[in-house]
Structure 1
Amino acid sequence: MKRNLFFIFLAAFLLLTACSETGEQNASTTKKDNKEEEQSSNQEITYLGEKYEIPTKVETIVTASQEAMEDAAILGIKPAGAIATAGEFPAYLGDSMSEAEQIGEKTQPSVEKLLQIKPDVILGTSKFQPEVAESLNKVAPMIPVSHISTNWKDNLLLLGQLSNETEKAESIIADYDKNVAETKENLQAKLSGKKVVMLRLRGGSLYIYPETVYFNPVLYTDLGLDVPDEVKAAKAQEMISLEKLAEMNPDYLFIQFEESENAESPTALADLESNSIWKSLDAVKNNQVYENVVDPMAAGGTAWSKTTFLTAFAELFK
């Protein structure tokens, strides 16, 4: 009898052990399948040498930088959310932001608002502080779109890839390069040896930029115009006095003036134009000063900004 009970208990024990192992195997298999399914729903993309993991199917894009907003505008893409300035989207972008919800200011977008939108990807900016980037990455993959003008092609191709508009992005780049070559050929004789300068009037003061910043790459890199020594020496946006500008004495001047950037000096442009030093400049005396040929709020180093500026530039000097 005892012998029979022993075999009965042994059989029961073996049966329970087998069931337990099967359950563990099933749980392990399920966990593995879930992990593989999660991985298969993502893709890895490379942007400026860095890899980012994003959903395989990107449907909801938020543009949390001006660069990304301008790229969206030229590609005809309407993001689900975008940064605003003083509670408004830039008027020069037309209706490209018509479907976007405001997500706050450019330095620190609202995490709460982003959680409501539920983006697949956030196109931020390389200017974000580390803590801002970290908080946005908790909402969705955040790609820090470069604010450096010379990365404009990579920026445009990034959004083209995310929105299945790569062909359109490549076409925009090709058209720009073609127009640059034509403009350069047409204006080579006229502008050879001439000093062309882009200025920005902000807070009542004049600023110049390095040759690879703002609209300057169009002038000096793309069109190959001579780079003034003062522009070469600039390390960032730098204030320039009227006296120093008079020493430069440009042949052609482009000046960008936005009222909101001069709120405390609303008459800054008029005051500048009435100044005797300003009037002494060759560009002024020869009527070669061009104000706001592109919207003064434009970023300068994007496909939208460069294309618009090049078109205006070519038209002025044709």
Structure 2
Amino acid sequence: MEYKEKLRSTKKTKLALLLTTTMLFAGLQAGCGNMASNETKTPKVDSSASQGTEGKGNTPADPTAYPRMLKDEMGNEVTLPASPAKIFAPNLEDTLVALGVAPVMQWSTGSRPKEYLQDQLKDVPTITFAGGLPPEPEAVMAFEPDLILLHNSYHMDSGVYDKYKKIAPTYVFKHANADLESSVRIVGDLLGKSAEAEQALQNYKAYVETAKKELAPHIQDKKAAIIRFNGKGMFFIKYDFFSGYVLTHELGFTPSQVVTGGDVNLSLESLPDLDADYIFLINDAGTGDAHEKEMTESPVWKSMDAVKNGRTFKVEGDHWLSGGLIAHMKVIDDVKGLIAK
């Protein structure tokens, strides 16, 4: 009897173990089935489907995908259907050349384009802005641009933007020359030349730093002013942009209080108040000959310390009246050649 009881107990133990194993196996199968089911139901993000569409899925939009939609500095919506290839950028040709791009046409006064860029742009046709007036849309349309860049907000106020945007996608800057670093990056981004833009800016900054070290002994605590002559009279170049920006913000000349605080117009009567150690004179394409002669031959001019000390310089070239990395470097070269002899 004792043997039979032990046998029954053993059989019950084996049966319980078998049932437990069977239930555990069934549970594992069910669990695996649920995992497989859950994996099948989990949606996968198609990265290609989200390109060019911001906020869709978890993949960020590709800024180089087309069509590309953005806003310019004036808040206008700009749509680029494809990568721009034919660019019209009056007064921004310097930036295009710095990025290795030739415009489809170049700005001209009516008699000449920007002379300092003609080594690179001599084969690019000109389009006239004679009298400061932009060309008619029909003249622009003839060159079939696929992107137009307008360098300041005046083109919004004057109605030029409304006309040109009907020709091609048009981007308007507030004032491209007032923040050259930003505008170079924006143009680089629009043209798919961001790497080239960064390299151009790095090269320019290195150029400036080298020049500052070389010129420091000559310009430390010295004030500078730039006087422009044209057919309308005599004017100061302000320090916000062009060569005025180069002298003060880049090279380190101290601004003249007369130039920063007064009117841009200059008269012989106000000349004695000019507090400048160095004075640079620009005759705009020879149109200011009469006014330049009147000033430089006057007794008040000859009595000024800058004149007596031989620190007045007549500078040539439209790069002094232009904004851009290339123009600025040419101004720096001129200053080095004049005062660091």
Map of 1:317 onto structure 2: 339
> d(CA) in 2 for partners of 1:48 and 1:258?
31
The residue that corresponds to 1:271 in the other structure is: 294
Specify the alignment match of 1:6 in structure 2. Answer: none
Counterpart Cα distance in 1 of 2:300 and 2:138: 51
Aligned partner of 1:90: which letter? K
- Counterpart mapping for 1:44-193 below 5 A: 44-45=69-70, 48=73, 50=75, 52-63=78-89, 65-66=90-91, 68-105=92-129, 107-126=133-152, 127-128=154-155, 129-147=157-175, 149-193=177-221
TM-score normalised to structure 2 length: 0.70
1:113 offset after TM fit, Å? Answer: 2.4
Q: Which letter does structure 1 place at the counterpart of 2:167?
A: V
Higher alpha-carbon Rg:
2
Alpha-carbon contact 1:195-1:228 (below 8 Å) kept: yes
SS in structure 2 of the partner of residue 86 of structure 1: coil
Does the CA-based 8 Å contact 2:301-2:307 persist in structure 1?
yes
**2:228 corresponds to 1:200:** yes
Partner amino acid, structure 2, of 1:93: L
The verdict on how the C-alpha distance between 1:271 and 1:299 changes in structure 2, with shifts beyond 3 A counting, is closer
Q: Is the 8 A contact 1:210 1:234 kept in 2?
A: no
Cα contact 2:83–2:192 (8 A) shared by 1? no
Say if 2:219 and 2:252, in contact at 8 Å, map to a contact too: no
Give the Å deviation of 1:259.
3.5
Cα distance per residue 1:79-118 (max 9 Å; x no partner):
1123321254233221433443444425322211222222
**What residue is the counterpart of 2:41 in the other structure?**
none
Displacement of 1:239: 0.8
Residue 31 of structure 2 corresponds to which residue in structure 1?
A: none
Q: 3-state DSSP class of the match of 2:159?
A: helix
TM-score, normalising length from structure 1? 0.75
Give CA deviations for 1:265-314 in whole Å, capped at 9, x if unaligned: x3332333222111111221122112125x13654332222121122223
Paired residues of 2:225 and 2:237 also in contact (CA < 8 A): no
Give the deviation of 1:200 after TM superposition. 0.9
Q: Tell me the SS of whatever aligns to 1:197.
A: strand
Residue aligning to 2:266? 240
Unaligned runs of 5+ in 1: 1-35
Task: Write out per-residue CA displacement over residues 130-188 of structure 1, whole angstroms, 9 at most, x where no aligned residue.
Answer: 42110000111111245453311222223333444333322221122223223333333
Unaligned ranges ≥5, structure 2: 1-52, 54-64
| In 2, Cα distance between equivalents of 1:112 and 1:99 | 22
Indicate the percent of aligned positions where both proteins have the same amino acid.
Answer: 20
Local SS of the residue matching 1:83: strand
Tell whether the 8 Å contact from 2:242 to 2:328 is kept in structure 1 after alignment: no
Select the residue among 312, 315, 318 that pairs with 1:289. Answer: 312
Are the structure 2 counterparts of residues 274 and 212 from structure 1 closer, same or farther at C-alpha, using a change threshold of 3 Å? Answer: same
Tell me, yes or no, if the aligned pair for 1:208 and 1:231 is still in contact at 8 Å. Answer: yes
Question: Separation in 2 of the partners of 1:99 and 1:162?
Answer: 24
